[in-house]
Chain A
Amino acid sequence: MSEVPQNAGYMMAAYIVTAVILLAYAVSLYRRTSKP
């Protein structure tokens, strides 16, 4: 029986990149809409 591949690092990288992109855009929108 084959072993499960050990590639959790790629998974973590993808989850971190997604969080960074979404949070950066959320902050960008917040800052732009807060300007008087």
Chain B
Amino acid sequence: MSLVQKGRWITLVALVCLGAVYVRALAFTPVERLQGPAQKIFYLHVPAALWTEAAMVLVGLAGIFYLFLKDPRLDRFAEASAEVGTVFATIVLTTGPIWGKPIWGTWWTWDARLTSTLFLFFLYVGYLLVRGAVRDPGLRARYAAVLGICGMCLVPFIHLSVFLFRTLHPQPIILKPSAPSLPNSMLATWLLSLAAFTLLYVGFVTQRYALSLARAAQQGRSSEAGHV
């Protein structure tokens, strides 16, 4: 089985899992009394946000290792992770305001968490634009690695921004030093969603990596044909 096919199968399993999350979240998970049904956006928003941050950390780590090892596989992985991270960041930045409107009374506020997440999204877009703009593969990989490392440095700030600044955004209720402050039925739905998003990340990145590999092989063949 080729890498693309593996990626497709993982993505298919992930989408089926996500379908199960939808059914469980919408039909079998209790409604939170204070926020109402809008609280169920939590099951999509938070796993997408975690993978938006994790994807950028992986882009940064791949960038650091690339600068030392110059292994093109690291650059390809970083590119794939950045593209998938952009997709997840789009989900975060659309579901967040939809959740914020009924709960905060506003679609958007320029507080630290929201603004820094938007900045991360722009970094992702900038990263992809740089990759598209620079023709030389070595130079492109170096520029991208530096940008990825900058993005990685932003992630802890985003995560800690709710502690460092006074924000409308709530503090973590799962990823915190003490036990999660959620009933077990809600926690189980959230964990299932996190597993589905994790599989989605793996499936998408595998396919995107295979696409980069195919493009590199095609470029190699074209340049060989040009030399003949």
Number of A-B contacts (CB under 8 A): 89
B interface, over-half SS: helix
Is the CB–CB distance between B98 and A26 below 8 Å? Answer: no
Closest to B18 in A: A22
Closest to A5 in B: B36
Is the CB–CB distance between A14 and B211 below 8 Å? Answer: no
Is the CB–CB distance between A33 and B38 below 8 Å? Answer: no
Is the CB–CB distance between A26 and B11 below 8 Å? Answer: yes
Q: Indicate which residue in B25, B94, B207 contacts A33 across the interface (CB closer than 8 Å).
A: B207
Per the 8 Å Cβ criterion, residues 81-96 of B in contact with A are 84, 87, 90-91, 94-95
Per the 8 Å Cβ criterion, residues 2-34 of A in contact with B are 2, 4-8, 10-11, 13-15, 17-19, 21-23, 25-26, 29-30, 32-33
Since A7-B35, A22-B18, A32-B211 are in contact, a sample of 20 more A-B pairs with Cβ atoms closer than 8 Å, ordered by chain A residue number, is: A5-B37, A5-B38, A8-B37, A8-B38, A10-B38, A10-B41, A10-B99, A13-B98, A14-B44, A15-B40, A15-B41, A15-B44, A18-B48, A18-B91, A18-B95, A22-B15, A22-B87, A25-B84, A26-B11, A29-B204
